[in-house]
Structure 1
Amino acid sequence: MNSQQSTPSSTLPLLAIVISTFLSLIPNTVNASCSHEFSELVHQKNISYCKTLHTLDAEFGWKYQNFTNFITLEILFSAKLNKPEGWIAWGVNPGKRAEMTGTKALIGIKHPDTPLRADTYDITKEIVTGCHLLPSKISELQVSNLSMQYEGSNLYTMYARLVLPSDLYNITKLHHVWQVGYAVKGDQPLYHPTTLDNVDSTETIDLTSSVGHSTGQYWGFLRSVHGVLNIIGWGILLPSGIIIARYFRVFPFQWEPTWFYMHIACQLTGFLVGTAGWIIGLSLGHASRYYTFHTHRIFGIIIFTFSTIQMLAFRLKPKMTDDYRKYWNMYHHFLGYGLLVIIFINIFQGISILKGGKQWKWAYIGILAFFGAIVFGMEIFTWVRFFILKAKRNRSDKSKSGETTKQKSIRK
């Protein structure tokens, strides 16, 4: 009973270390000051504030005046276009939150055959569902001096002066959206990429202090937590439980019943941690109305379903005396190994979706290499010990056979 009580508790410090290690790899979402290059442009335009936005390497500068019935806003927006054609966009949303639908946008278009140009666009629900996005006047906004400029090194800026009605826009809670795309058709910007950077390019900003609160940053943090929990639960603890059952149950080591308690501790803890990450993933999928990562989602559902079935084995497995116990053991083992393959594939796919970068990727590759080294070493030890025991058994059998023959000859 002592081993049963100490094993789960002894895993807690290791689990805390692993969680803190992966959490340290979550990108910092604190707003940074604008770059030196953009600062010079802001100074040239005599603009008061500037900040680096949290996605798409975009930067935003502004100057405002607050009157009784309206707000005058002077903006400078910059982003990079590293392809022959494309577009950059910045806009404000008078709705209840910062999102693409309902945004009143300023879009600058780069095309190799025509000069740079910028115009106003109204992003309606029909546009989101597939209608063409064409220039349109926005009655509630007064836009003047709208222009797009090339600043060198693939950097493009948009400048404009706006008049915002105070009954629709709040100076301390202004919902603004920005975007970058790489396909145009005349004066029509086509769909932008659906990476997480693109879909998270929203923020609610306080123009008086440059503090921004972004739902994109919040969902980005949840995605990172989702990834960390799934890596630890499905990708570390479950394989650890399988290794324990493989090498410490019967051969080459027989730690009865300690192996069983260790196996349960790893599998149950991994299942609970992974399920927490899976639930966060479901909420993220429900919140993403305009994009879904179908393969990653399907694999996640398969992993949770089959892991649940594996967990039920603690209560529903047949007894040792049942005739079909050996067939159940085969099913349990093969399902577990197949589940591991899906888990590893889905974790790397999730890292790719998150764009966690080389840190996440190589951190988990290092963990898999560690597991691989353990399995490789244990397999070699298992087979070496097996052949040694087999050789001893053969010598023992030959010795017994010789003694039997000798005894028979003496009797004769």
Structure 2
Amino acid sequence: MASQFKVVLIFTMAVSSFLSSSVAQQTCSSYTFSNNKAFNSCTELPHLGASLYYTLAPSSDTINVAFKAPQSSDGWVAWGLNPKSTKMVGSQAIVAFFHSNGSMIAYPTQLDSYAPSMAPEDLSFPVSDMAAEYVKNEMIIYATLKLPGGSTKFNHVWQEGSSVANDVPQAHSTSGGNIESLGTIDFQ
């Protein structure tokens, strides 16, 4: 009797795990962008409710990305690669928010300390086609990146903050998902 219970329990856990991962994939892959952009791959990131969509162009070592995260119209979001470390410092990021003129903007910035300026700054690798939009309480960043060193595997970071002052994103929270929003990704 006890062994039957264990078999049922293991089976139930396996089915539950499969269904959970299927629902997560379905949520990510079923999203339709307002500009009809399409991406070959997507992943639900483990913190801040964020998702990353991408299409690799191996012949040119470029990646087209869309980073999407829940956010109020007063806040900001950012996503980036860190070619040298697993932490925030050293990341090459793209930040997006509502500019004081009312338009959504996206620009590159370097996170060179734990109190970066968040000012527009060239990255150590080419980035183009940057754009941002605000749809259904989510901010979305679009960009094309020339992958550093021709690699496809990177450390990446993502973030969100609740305020922007004088067109400068203000410091994000230093607890919970905000300090856990980092990982590795292989664009293959």
Shorter-chain TM-score range: 0.7 to 0.9
- Residue deviations 1:172-199, cap 9 Å, x none? x211111110111233211011222111
- Aligned match of 2:3: none
Which structure is higher in RCO with an 8 Å CA cutoff and minimum separation 6?
2
Tell me the percent identity: 28
TM-score (norm 1): 0.38
Q: Structure 2: any 5+ residue segments left out of the alignment?
A: 1-12
**Residues 42, 61 of structure 1: 8 Å contact kept:** no
- Aligned match of 2:87: 99
SS in 2 for 1:198: helix
Shift of 1:71: 1.7
Q: Provide the C-alpha distance between the structure 1 equivalents of 2:29 and 2:21, rounded to a whole number of angstroms.
A: 20
1:146 to 127, 130, 146: 130
TM-score (norm 2): 0.79
Shift of 1:148: 0.5
Shift of 1:145: 1.1
Shift of 1:132: 2.6
Shift of 1:206: 1.8
Q: Provide the C-alpha distance between the structure 1 equivalents of 2:81 and 2:54, rounded to a whole number of angstroms.
A: 13
Q: Which has the higher strand share?
A: 2
SS in 2 for 1:57: coil
**Residues 34, 50 of structure 1: 8 Å contact kept:** no
- Residue deviations 1:265-285, cap 9 Å, x none? xxxxxxxxxxxxxxxxxxxxx
SS in 2 for 1:166: helix
Provide the aligned C-alpha RMSD in A: 2.7
- Aligned match of 1:117: 105
1:50 corresponds to 2:33: no
Shift of 1:38: 5.8
> Do the aligned partners of residues 146 and 185 (structure 1) sit closer, same or farther apart at CA in structure 2, a change above 3 Å counting?
same
Shift of 1:111: 4.8
Alignment of 1:34-113 (within 5 A): 35=27, 39-41=31-33, 44-67=36-59, 71-82=61-72, 84-95=73-84, 97-111=85-99, 113=101
Q: Provide the C-alpha distance between the structure 2 equivalents of 1:175 and 1:77, rounded to a whole number of angstroms.
A: 15
**Residues 78, 156 of structure 1: 8 Å contact kept:** yes
**What letter corresponds to residue 63 of structure 2 in structure 1?**
L
Rg bigger for which structure?
A: 1
Paired residues, what number?
Answer: 170
SS in 1 for 2:108: strand
> Do the aligned partners of residues 36 and 121 (structure 1) sit closer, same or farther apart at CA in structure 2, a change above 3 Å counting?
closer
Q: Structure 1: any 5+ residue segments left out of the alignment?
A: 1-23, 209-412
Shift of 1:72: 0.4
1:181 corresponds to 2:161: yes
**What letter corresponds to residue 59 of structure 1 in structure 2?**
S
